Structure 1
Amino acid sequence: MPTRLVVVLTAALVAVGCGVTADPASAPAVHVTPAPSLADGAGGVGRAGTADATETARNAVVAENARAGDPRWRVRDLGAAHEIEGFADRVSVLPGERFRLYVSTTARRYTARAFRMGWYGGAGARQVWESAGLPGTRQAPPRTVAATRTVTAAHWRPGPEVDTSGWPEGSYLIRLDAATGGRRYVPLTVRSASTRGRLVVVNAVTTWQAYNDWGGRSLYHGPGGFADRSRAVSFDRPYDTSGARLFLDMERDAVELAERDGLPLAYVTDLELDRDPRVLDGARGLVSLGHDEYWSAPMRRTVEAARDHGTNIAFLGANAVYWRIRFAATPLGPGRLVICHKDAAEDTWTVLWRESGKPESSLTGPMYDCFPSESAYVVHRPGNWIFKGTGVRRGTVFPGMAGVETDRVGAGAPRPMEVLSVSPVACGGRSTVAHSAYYTVPSGAAVFSSGTMRWVCAMRGARCGHGVTGRAGVFVRKATRNLLRVFAAGPAGRSHPARDNLESLGLAGPAPR
């Protein structure tokens, strides 16, 4: 996203078992509400062969989504400002690990409930845990670290500690319910101990935090505008609005689709990609969701190494791998501070990836080009296997689908590359185009980039807004199913090599032999 332009991302405000313990000196005792036990099926993945790991993971996803869901997970009423809000002291945990909630509320009591996001027969989530009523506390105002203009709530009094024993891997929303009626979410990822043989879903938490305006500052602005922005943002604070704005708007629909299809899934966040260079060992594919903009150097090395060893990559958004970041510790733990100055005069490291001599396109294929875009998506390569069964032809148009940010293929793009859509875009008075594209590499891995930030949103059809239609929803869901099923089966380039067409589009010379 451009440095001085902030995308207004309309949040979708639509969105039992473990024990809870608390430090007696700092948090109340909590009553445990038992929940049904989890069907075991994920154990031993690291030791099993890849085929066994894949089947085990697939069976676990199918069994989990056959359980009864709870459509009441959605937040309908945020209540008054600061009526209730909170954050967790861990971005992700392994199943069975504990995390601590930090909660501020104007209500005398509140309840916390954990929902795992998935299909569940259309309910969209399953409740896995519920606390008893907890005493509410209005916490101190946020503090700002002057040197980096970082907003933090690390000084808040800690709340209950939650044990995730029995929670399946996945994307979670912890819903905080004030007794006075207001509700907010706290996102959490229960990550996978192994990704071998699986399709890896990445929750883009660094981008969530970059746009988080809680406390009046983000990486985009502060009270005094762009110059007053944060140079580093902390996970030690709640998220703004519903508490899960970017997850709900940019990620949830793709998670639901993948779970509905019973794919062999694993879950991680950006932090695992940064911390563990072997986190993707043996993974069949990686799925970057609707907006995945902020990447550290270790994140990028980990993903590129996986691609070069046969792991497929799907970018279901636009403007990915755009800003280069680094992590630092906060009082609550390592890696909880995301640093991005966006000014080489202040810090030569945390600048655009393309300014570092390594443009995002060497990984993503297309590269960021336009904001704001409000344009139609136009199919160019209807015979590509990703579009099989969608009924599209060359020139089929889907209104509103190319936006609000878009990518295009430029010079130096990986080859062979097959451009799948060519969408004329009006970009603030400049005429340009947006591209979906697909390329393959010698390892057999394939990389798909949708080239539009509305790919995941369009899965909702007309509920996406922006002129997107129900017909677009059918198209995107079918194309995504085709893509993810093949990517989950192994190196897609071996059976589906890219058919380079850049020369015919005037985007490059002949493909190298």
Structure 2
Amino acid sequence: MGTEQIRRWESGALAHAVTDPFGQGPLPWLRGSENYFDSGQVVPWYVDPAVAPGEKRLPSPRSSAGPRTADDVRQQIKGFVSTGAVAPGEAIDFRVSVDPPQPFSIDIYRIGHYAGTGAAKITTSPRLAGIVQPAPLTADRTVSCHHWWLSWRLQVPTYWKLGAYVAVLTTADGHRSHVPFTVRDAHPADLLLLLPDITWQAYNLYPEDGRTGASLYHAWDADGSLLGEPDAATTVSFDRPYAGAGLPLHVGHAYDFIRWAERYGYDLAYADARDLHAGLVDPSRYRGLVFPGHDEYWSQPMRRTAELARDSGTSLVFLSANTMYWQVELAPSPAGPDSLLSCRKRQGPGKPALWREAGDPEQQLMGIQYAGRVPEPAPLVVRNADHWMWEATGAHEGDELPGLVAGEADRYFPRTPLPEHSHRILLAHSPYEDSEGNRRHQETSLYRALSGALVFASGTFAWSPALDRPGHVDERVQRATANLLDRICKRD
């Protein structure tokens, strides 16, 4: 980058990006009616317009006057919803700030395969009057916008499909931001997809302005320099927008799985991690619970429900790494229940915040647990290739799947107790080097609990992107995942 200076408010995003080589991934950076063509094919909206799969550059769009991303310094348009999940027939409230004041609109999209387009527009709001909302309230690094005025109440029709939705906020002068939310209900399904909104909020540095914002990782000093965990927030609020473009860090991992799973017709229900925490998930209604993305922060009720699911015969599928690492608590705020997320981490005396230090290591649920960061992607090395999960993948013992160990990695810890099981197997054993040049290894785990439930843990950030991320798809991972889910759905 030479001598070019990083603007202070960009440093937070850059600091987080080192943990995820996939970036935010396929975000709904919706381009309206514009199509980009490459060898005669329509390129999905979630592909970076500058670089397509295979590093081919795409032609410029027909119109160069496209929407511009809002930021947390000028706050051209920012918004959030009062709750992360809503059932058909219920209302969801949008609170939006627009600077300078001007009309804006909200387009609602549902994430899915949709013949390769990646999302479908469901509805559009009326033309709305935008105002500059009050400045965020701050207390002990906790930032909240619960006092913002209501901008639009969406009554979710009863006929809407369950799923992951994104509201795209656009001002009259063309600035854009995003608000994710979930539509869920309690009807039975084969698989329940759990979106990791608690972990998303832990990483949220809003407002990323070099002054006010704070996450469980970072805050700012008086000079606008980024501070680390010892000076970060210990409590963050859900009552605020997400930083930057308005979508959470790592959100693309969940969207990768959704597009792939809906393409192949899996019977999916949807919920948020806060639903799991609040006791709104009845595991007996599902054959499997799927955790599709980076899901690092878990409360005690979340873990109890997951253990109950496993012990009652409901399978668990963990498609990322560094799952259930920090123990958290949720508390009410003036805006509603479970709106404040607290994790003391290493700050001050008190009970340990790591599950493993509190006497409940993650491995006792997942079969493996977090080992560390992976600074450069490494191959995933196939192990026990004759197992049914590798069937029809074309993978052989010792085959290397390029780039499939990335971001962060899990492994089996021999000195940590394993969960009770009738059968257990490691499906990958992959060497990599850590940031100090030490040789480490990643592992992928599958075990069958005494109840008959299967518990799978990929042990890498790269598994979900390998399902449907442009430039990262691996057909062997796709087939192996299908083998697993098919067996779960048939209760085999």
Under TM normalisation by the shorter chain, which class is it?
A: 0.7 to 0.9
Q: How much does 1:191 deviate?
A: 1.2
Whether contact under 8 Å (2:374, 2:432) holds in the other structure is no
1:291-315 Cα deviation digits (max 9, x unpaired): 0111000000001001101001110
Q: CA RMSD in A?
A: 2.1
**Aligned: 1:11 with 2:13:** no
Whether contact under 8 Å (1:187, 1:244) holds in the other structure is yes
SS in 2 for 1:356: coil
**Aligned: 1:172 with 2:179:** no
One-letter amino acid matched to 1:83: Q
Question: How far apart, in 2, do the equivalents of 1:13 and 1:214 lie?
Answer: 21
Of 355, 372, 375, 2:374 maps to 372
**Aligned: 1:392 with 2:395:** yes
SS in 2 for 1:370: strand
Q: How much does 1:73 deviate?
A: 8.5
**Aligned: 1:213 with 2:205:** yes
One-letter amino acid matched to 2:369: M
Counterpart for residue 83 of structure 2: 90
**Aligned: 1:345 with 2:342:** no
Whether contact under 8 Å (2:230, 2:346) holds in the other structure is no
Counterpart for residue 239 of structure 2: 236
Which 5+ residue runs of structure 1 have no aligned equivalent?
Answer: 16-69, 465-469, 496-513
Alignment length (residue pairs): 422
Counterpart for residue 192 of structure 2: 200
Q: How much does 1:258 deviate?
A: 1.2
Q: How much does 1:138 deviate?
A: 2.1
Q: How much does 1:399 deviate?
A: 2.1
Whether contact under 8 Å (1:73, 1:115) holds in the other structure is no
Cα 1:73–1:377 shift into 2, 3 Å: closer
Of 289, 294, 314, 1:291 maps to 294
Cα 1:389–1:221 shift into 2, 3 Å: same
Counterpart for residue 421 of structure 1: 428
One-letter amino acid matched to 1:265: L
- Mapping 1:272-351, distance limit 5 Å: 272-276=275-279, 279-343=282-346, 345-348=348-351, 351=353
Question: How far apart, in 2, do the equivalents of 1:278 and 1:335 lie?
Answer: 15
Q: How much does 1:163 deviate?
A: 0.2
Cα 1:363–1:344 shift into 2, 3 Å: farther
- Mapping 1:440-451, distance limit 5 Å: 440-451=448-459
Whether contact under 8 Å (2:368, 2:410) holds in the other structure is yes
> Structure 1 stretch 184-193 or stretch 353-362: which is displaced more?
184-193
- Mapping 1:104-253, distance limit 5 Å: 104-106=97-99, 108-146=102-140, 149-165=141-157, 166-194=159-187, 196-215=188-207, 216-224=213-221, 225=227, 226-246=229-249, 248-253=251-256
One-letter amino acid matched to 2:441: V
- Mapping 1:473-512, distance limit 5 Å: 473-490=474-491, 495=492
**Aligned: 1:357 with 2:347:** no
Whether contact under 8 Å (1:310, 1:443) holds in the other structure is yes
Counterpart for residue 267 of structure 1: 270
Q: How much does 1:77 deviate?
A: 4.5
1:170-194 Cα deviation digits (max 9, x unpaired): 1111111122112111011111223
SS in 1 for 2:218: coil
Q: How much does 1:13 deviate?
A: 5.5
SS in 2 for 1:198: strand
Question: How far apart, in 1, do the equivalents of 2:435 and 2:90 lie?
Answer: 48
Q: How much does 1:485 deviate?
A: 2.0
Q: TM-score, normalised by structure 2?
A: 0.81
Question: How far apart, in 2, do the equivalents of 1:482 and 1:6 lie?
Answer: 33
Question: How far apart, in 2, do the equivalents of 1:151 and 1:451 lie?
Answer: 33
1:263-305 Cα deviation digits (max 9, x unpaired): 1111111111111175212310000012011100000000100
> Structure 1 stretch 306-315 or stretch 385-394: which is displaced more?
385-394
> Structure 1 stretch 315-324 or stretch 149-158: which is displaced more?
149-158
SS in 2 for 1:139: coil
One-letter amino acid matched to 1:219: L
SS in 2 for 1:290: coil
Counterpart for residue 502 of structure 1: none
Counterpart for residue 404 of structure 1: 407
One-letter amino acid matched to 1:12: G
Cα 1:7–1:359 shift into 2, 3 Å: farther
Q: How much does 1:79 deviate?
A: 2.6
Counterpart for residue 3 of structure 2: none
Q: How much does 1:84 deviate?
A: 1.4
Q: How much does 1:126 deviate?
A: 1.8
Q: Which has the higher strand share?
A: 2
Counterpart for residue 41 of structure 1: none
Whether contact under 8 Å (1:258, 1:484) holds in the other structure is no
One-letter amino acid matched to 1:144: T
Counterpart for residue 444 of structure 2: 436
Cα 1:119–1:94 shift into 2, 3 Å: same
SS in 1 for 2:478: helix
One-letter amino acid matched to 1:402: V
Question: How far apart, in 1, do the equivalents of 2:401 and 2:372 lie?
Answer: 18
SS in 2 for 1:463: coil
One-letter amino acid matched to 1:113: D
Question: How far apart, in 1, do the equivalents of 2:384 and 2:334 lie?
Answer: 51
Whether contact under 8 Å (1:111, 1:133) holds in the other structure is yes
> Structure 1 stretch 212-221 or stretch 276-285: which is displaced more?
276-285
Question: How far apart, in 2, do the equivalents of 1:486 and 1:90 lie?
Answer: 34
Q: TM-score, normalised by structure 1?
A: 0.78
SS in 1 for 2:357: helix
Whether contact under 8 Å (2:201, 2:248) holds in the other structure is no
Which 5+ residue runs of structure 2 have no aligned equivalent?
Answer: 1-14, 29-42, 49-65, 208-212, 222-226
1:328-360 Cα deviation digits (max 9, x unpaired): 0112100011111103734426x0000110000
SS in 1 for 2:283: coil
How high is the sequence identity, in percent, across the aligned residues?
36
